[in-house]
């Protein structure tokens, strides 16, 4: 240990020696370097060397600390910059190289306090520069300069003898200092204590030099320091301390205390308000209370220290910065008070109340901090001294440190208050969530804690809606909206998403699933009167790892929320479909609509048309709907429809559509299907209106087919007609054969069209659409999928049946063809009725005169009434028959020409339709390429 102490002392001597002799002799000789006692006219004397060594030891054993932060890199940069500005570029580069080597050296034997070494060298350099600029004619080397030029302050007054005795006493006792004494002077630093233990032997060196030389040097020191600020500034104090502030190892005359006391007096002169009073006022301001000096200024919108109060500008700035916390507190507190006062109002809501509670909780922590600070503010602020660093007091600077974290939080709360003033519910939660997207961990943690409070009501609404179907939204804060509707519209119109209230941390897809899950529960409860959803919800909560109780969901648990919603949706939707399929027999009802409204039950449709045909031929205003209902019951009992479920048959009814003057029963007759709750959710009024439109089209098609079948029954030849033709004159016979043949050909062309169209509708449209519908019903996961599948099924039928908006022209043309076919039926009936009546009257040879007179009186009647002209005799019979056949032939030719023209327009439009299945209809109609050959013969463009 003694070797280490001696080594430290040797190093200090070497340092002082190099600093003194190198400055006088840039290239000292080895002999001069080795002998510090050798003197010359330009070299320092032994006394100066002794003073410099004592100076160095006093500095190293003192507690002097610079006013700048210890940063070796910044200090090295400052030295390098100074060398560069002085034009010493080469020296700056050399210093840079030396510093890089110095800073990179670590391990045993390296200097730990590198910054201290650089600072010491820089300070010594500054002292020398100032000495040179002032051209003071004395030997100093910077160590004994006055305090005004950066040197060591004078430590003695005008009484030199007292000063010398004090200093002698000081250095006499220096050798007797023990480890404890050095520990006190070095601020408790163990490293400094170890390094300076070797200074105990300095007393021996001092004795060798002698007191006389030492006193002589102090006399020179007094003369050189008389002009310094240390002597001039202490004239009004009298005897005592007459220099600046320096922390030395001993202060026998209490010099530092006097300096601090004078400094405190100077502060009192500059500030008429004590710092303790300002601290108390700042603490009041941070609670929204005006103090004695710091008050709230309405114009400036903040707490201000009046300019009339005499304090330093730095104090003004410090108070204004600290009072920003009070301004923020005032804003946050005002928002909380205002919101809580009008809480029952709808614009606040439960989320707003939770937000206020979260802010109030943060303010509670803030109040605790202020209570602690107020306790510290009761302690007086000490003077700047050693004990000041450890005292439990509160100054403005300490207050700024205490307010650092609360300031950040209060600013965040103020920003949230400003952004949420006009928001509520999910919109408020979304706005706060956007503020939480921050990189600062402190801010992120604070916002997360705040959001757990704010989102608590929102997540409770989600839980209640997903697991119970209850919408606890008194203030319209939830992103699911409800409105009172009928039971049949509950699913489609009862609930909807309110996008404005959808928080940004819940995706649109998740919101849709939440909406559908709650709708399913309400649909089961209200429309299906089912309670099985409760078990499904409990199973979902168990599968998701949570319970059905309150408070199990919160902000930041999005994965848990998604899991709960997914499990609940899967189980509740499956239960809903099971109820629809099994309890309410949805598939059976769809099949019943296909059989009866879409005329898929052939025997029922045929029998119905047979028994209601005569009734529907009457004017529409004369038909009784009750009679038609009875005929419908007869058709059901007479066909296989009687074996269907009674619940299905109860829904089938006759409906008479509104009619105009001249309408027949065929034009207003229709069937309807009454779907009850909950099936009317699928079979709504608009859906049934489209079914009715499809039924009218199919009913018209079946009517046309029925008419052609009836015409065929009338037209088919028999033996009686063959014998009758043999008795007619050749001209009449030829005309009758041509007319009959023309009627047969036209019937065959119409029958070809109707047969293929009906095949296309029944098989290519209805059956394929039904098959696809059944497949989609099997894979449907929820009621929305089921509704979508049914909608596609219905749209497919409408589009393929030429009833869609894109096929309006074809649909109009098609109904014109149907009307022409029905006109043809009436002409065919007239033709063959006339033929049969002519045949029945041909056996009569004469008539009574009364009958002849009567027939001549009516000779101007219509020739198309064969029963009136058969009584005029055979010659007249032949004449009238020929005229009748010519008129019928003209009517058939007109119908044939019109039919051909309309039909050609119809088939020419089929290939340009967008639906691909209509091309199959074209293929069936022109399967024999008859119309293609006709195009080549006539030159008309039948097909594009």
SS (H, E, C) 399-450: HHHHCHHHHHHHHHHHHHHHHCCCCCHHHHHHHHHHHCCCCCHHHHHHHHHH
Peptide bond into 392 cis (omega under 30): no
367 and 298 assigned to the same domain: yes
Residues 790, 925, single domain; the answer is yes
Its pTM stands at 0.63
Structural tokens at position 327: 């301004």
Task: Count structural domains, the chain.
Answer: 4
Do 678 and 702 lie in one domain? The reply is no
Q: What is the pLDDT of residue 788?
A: 94
Same domain, 925 and 823: yes
**347 touches 428 (CB < 8 A):** no
pLDDT band per the 50, 70, 90 thresholds, residue 811: confident
Residues 6 or more apart whose CB falls under 8 angstroms from that of 370 comprise 283, 286, 287
Flag whether 84 is in a domain.
Answer: no
* One domain for residues 451 and 544: yes
Across the range 857-861, mean pLDDT stands at: 46
815 vs 63, residue with greater confidence: 815
Q: Is residue 87 part of a domain?
A: no
Residue pLDDT, tens place only, 397-441: 999 999 999 999 999 999 999 988 888 888 999 989 888 888 888
Give just the sign of the alpha carbon dihedral 183, 188, 193, 196: negative
Residue 142, phi-psi category: left (phi > 0), alpha (psi -120 to 50), beta (remainder): left
**Residue 489 — pLDDT band, cuts 50, 70, 90?**
confident
Residues 317 and 439 in one domain: no
The per-residue pLDDT for 62 is 63
Which backbone phi and psi does 323 adopt, to 5 degrees? -75, -5
How much is the pLDDT for 21? 72
Question: Residue 639 falls within a domain, yes or no?
Answer: yes
**Coil, strand or helix: which one is 670?**
strand
pLDDT at 105: 79
Q: For 661-680, how does the pLDDT look when each residue is reduced to its tens digit (9 = 90+)?
A: 878 888 889 999 998 889 99
Q: Do 517 and 597 sit in the same domain of this protein?
A: no
- Domain-located, residue 114: no
Hey, which of 167-171, 259-263, 784-788, 925-929 has the most confident mean pLDDT?
Answer: 784-788
Q: Are residue 666 and residue 717 in the same domain, yes or no?
A: no
Report the range of poorest mean pLDDT among 407-421, 785-799, 825-839, 889-903: 825-839
Kindly tell me if the per-residue pLDDT of 249 is higher than 50: no
* Gap between the Cα atoms of 602 and 641, Å rounded: 10
Q: Please compute Rg for the chain using Cα positions.
A: 58
> For the chain, how are helix, strand and coil distributed in percent, rounded to 5?
70, 5, 30
Q: What is the mean pLDDT of residues 563-576?
A: 91
Tell me what pLDDT residue 699 has: 93
Residue 162's pLDDT is what? 44
Structural domain span for residue 333: 270-379+393-422
Residue 537 confidence (pLDDT): 86
Between residues 584 and 904, the one the model is more confident about: 584
Distance between first and last Cα of the chain: 117
What share of the chain has pLDDT > 90, as a percent?
23
Q: Is position 98 within any domain?
A: no
Instruction: Tell me the average pLDDT across 313-323.
Output: 89
CA angle 287, 289, 292 (to 5 degrees): 125
Rounded Cα distance, 595 and 575, in Å = 28
Both 462 and 414 in a single domain?
no
Structural domain includes residue 263: no
Contact assessment for residue 305 and residue 322, using Cβ atoms and an 8 Å cutoff = no
Confidence (pLDDT) at 742: 87
How high is the pLDDT of residue 22? Answer: 66
Residue 418 lies in a domain: yes
Lowest mean pLDDT among 220-224, 292-296, 324-328: 220-224
* Contacts for 80 with CB less than 8 Å, ≥ 6 apart: 92, 95, 96, 99
Structure-block tokens of residue 611: 């028994």
pLDDT digits (tens, 9 = 90+) for 138-179: 444 444 444 334 344 443 333 334 443 433 444 344 334 334
Does 566 fall in a domain? no
DSSP state of 811: H
- The values of phi and psi at residue 106, to 5°, are -130, 175
Domain identity same for 670 and 702: no
Of the residues 683, 701, 721, which one is the last residue of a structural domain?
A: 683
Strand partners, 653: 672
pLDDT category at 120 given cuts 50, 70, 90 is: confident
pLDDT 10s digits, 517-533: 999 999 999 898 888 88
919 and 787 part of one domain: yes
Cβ partners under 8 Å of residue 474, min gap 6:
350
Residue 456 has pLDDT above 80, yes or no: yes
904: Cα within 13 Å, side-chain hemisphere: 16
| 679 and 804 part of one domain | no
616 pLDDT more than 80: yes
């Amino acid at each position: 240990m003694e070797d280490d102490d001696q080594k430290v002392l040797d190093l200090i001597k070497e340092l002082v020696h190099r600093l003194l002799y190198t400055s006088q002799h840039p290239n000292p000789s080895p002999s001069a370097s080795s002998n510090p006692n050798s003197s010359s006219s330009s070299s320092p004397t032994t006394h100066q060397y002794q003073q410099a060594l004592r100076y160095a030891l006093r500095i190293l054993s003192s507690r002097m600390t610079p006013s700048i932060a210890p940063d070796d890199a910044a200090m090295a940069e400052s030295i390098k910059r100074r060398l560069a500005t002085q034009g010493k570029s080469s020296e700056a580069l050399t210093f840079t190289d030396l510093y890089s080597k110095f800073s990179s050296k670590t391990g045993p034997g390296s200097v730990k306090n590198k910054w201290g070494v650089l600072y010491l060298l820089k300070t010594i350099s500054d002292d020398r520069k100032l000495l040179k600029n002032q051209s003071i004619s004395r030997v100093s080397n910077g160590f004994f300069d006055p305090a005004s030029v950066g040197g060591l302050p004078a430590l003695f007054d005008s009484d030199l003898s007292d000063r010398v005795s004090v200093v002698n006493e000081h250095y006499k006792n220096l050798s007797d200092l023990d480890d404890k004494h050095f520990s006190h002077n070095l601020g408790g630093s163990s490293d400094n204590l170890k390094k300076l233990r070797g200074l105990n032997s300095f007393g021996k060196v001092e004795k060798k030099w002698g007191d006389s030389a030492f006193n002589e040097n102090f006399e020179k020191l007094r003369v050189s320091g008389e002009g310094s600020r240390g002597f001039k500034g202490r004239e009004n104090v009298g005897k005592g301390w007459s220099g600046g502030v320096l922390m030395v190892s001993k202060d026998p005359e209490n010099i530092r205390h006097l300096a601090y006391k004078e400094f405190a007096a100077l502060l009192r002169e500059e500030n008429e308000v004590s710092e303790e009073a300002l601290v108390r006022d700042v603490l009041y301001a941070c609670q929204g209370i005006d103090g004695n000096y710091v008050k709230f200024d309405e114009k400036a919108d903040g707490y201000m220290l009046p300019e009339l109060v005499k304090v330093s500008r730095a104090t003004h700035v410090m108070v204004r910065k600290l009072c920003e916390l009070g301004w923020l507190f005032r804003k946050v507190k005002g928002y909380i008070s205002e919101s809580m006062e009008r809480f029952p109002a709808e614009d606040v809501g439960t989320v707003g109340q939770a937000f206020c509670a979260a802010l109030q909780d943060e303010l509670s922590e803030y109040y605790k901090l202020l209570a602690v600070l107020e306790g510290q503010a009761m302690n007086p602020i000490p003077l700047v001294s050693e004990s000041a660093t450890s005292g439990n007091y509160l100054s403005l600077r300490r207050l700024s440190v205490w307010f650092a974290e609360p300031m950040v939080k209060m600013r965040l709360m103020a920003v949230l208050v400003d952004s949420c003033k006009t928001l509520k519910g999910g919109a408020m939660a979304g706005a706060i969530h956007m503020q939480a997207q921050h990189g600062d961990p402190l801010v992120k943690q604070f916002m997360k804690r705040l959001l757990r409070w704010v989102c608590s009501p929102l997540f409770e609404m989600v839980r209640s809606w997903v697991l119970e179907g209850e919408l606890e939204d008194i203030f319209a804060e939830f992103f699911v909206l409800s409105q009172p509707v009928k039971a049949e519209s509950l699913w489609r119109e009862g609930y909807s998403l309110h996008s404005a209230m959808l928080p940004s941390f819940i995706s649109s897809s998740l919101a849709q699933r939440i909406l559908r899950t709650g709708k399913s529960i309400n649909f089961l409860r209200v429309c299906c009167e089912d309670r099985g959803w409760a078990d499904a919800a409990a199973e979902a909560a168990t599968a998701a790892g949570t319970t059905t109780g309150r408070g199990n969901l919160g902000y930041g648990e999005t994965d848990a929320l998604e899991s709960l919603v997914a499990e609940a949706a899967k189980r509740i939707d499956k239960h809903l479909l099971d109820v629809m399929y099994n309890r309410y027999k949805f598939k059976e009802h769809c099949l019943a609509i296909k059989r009866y409204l879409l005329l898929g039950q052939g025997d029922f449709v045929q029998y119905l048309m047979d028994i209601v045909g005569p009734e529907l031929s009457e004017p529409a205003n004369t038909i009784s709907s009750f009679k038609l209902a009875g005929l419908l019951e007869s058709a059901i009992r007479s066909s296989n429809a009687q074996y269907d479920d009674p619940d299905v048959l109860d829904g089938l009814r006759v409906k008479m559509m509104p009619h105009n003057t001249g309408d027949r029963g065929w034009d207003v007759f229709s069937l309807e299907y009454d779907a009850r709750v909950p099936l009317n959710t699928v079979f709504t009024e608009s859906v049934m209106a489209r079914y009715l439109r499809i039924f009218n089209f199919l009913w018209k098609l079946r009517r046309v087919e029925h008419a052609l079948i009836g015409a065929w029954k009338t037209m088919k030849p028999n033996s009686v007609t063959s014998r009758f033709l043999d008795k007619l004159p050749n001209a009449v016979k030829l005309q009758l054969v041509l007319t009959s043949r023309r009627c047969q050909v036209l019937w065959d062309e119409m029958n070809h069209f109707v047969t293929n169209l009906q095949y296309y509708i029944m098989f290519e449209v209805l059956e394929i659409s039904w098959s696809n519908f059944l497949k989609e019903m099997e894979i449907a996961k929820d009621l929305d999928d089921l509704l979508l599948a049914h909608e596609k099924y219905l749209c497919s039928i409408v589009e393929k049946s030429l009833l869609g908006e894109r096929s309006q022209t074809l649909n109009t043309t098609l109904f014109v063809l149907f009307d022409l076919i029905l006109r043809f039926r009436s002409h065919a009936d007239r033709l063959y009725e006339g033929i049969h009546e002519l045949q029945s009257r041909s056996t009569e040879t004469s008539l009574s005169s009364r009958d002849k007179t009567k027939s001549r009186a009516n000779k101007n009647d219509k020739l198309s009434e064969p029963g009136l002209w058969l009584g005029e005799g055979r010659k007249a019979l032949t004449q009238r028959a020929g005229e009748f056949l010519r008129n019928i032939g003209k009517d058939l030719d007109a119908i044939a020409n019109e039919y051909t023209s309309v039909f050609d327009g119809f088939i020419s439009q089929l290939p340009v339709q967008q639906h691909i299945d209509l091309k199959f209809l074209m293929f069936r109609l022109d399967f024999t390429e008859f119309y293609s050959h006709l195009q080549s013969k006539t030159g008309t463009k039948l097909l594009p």
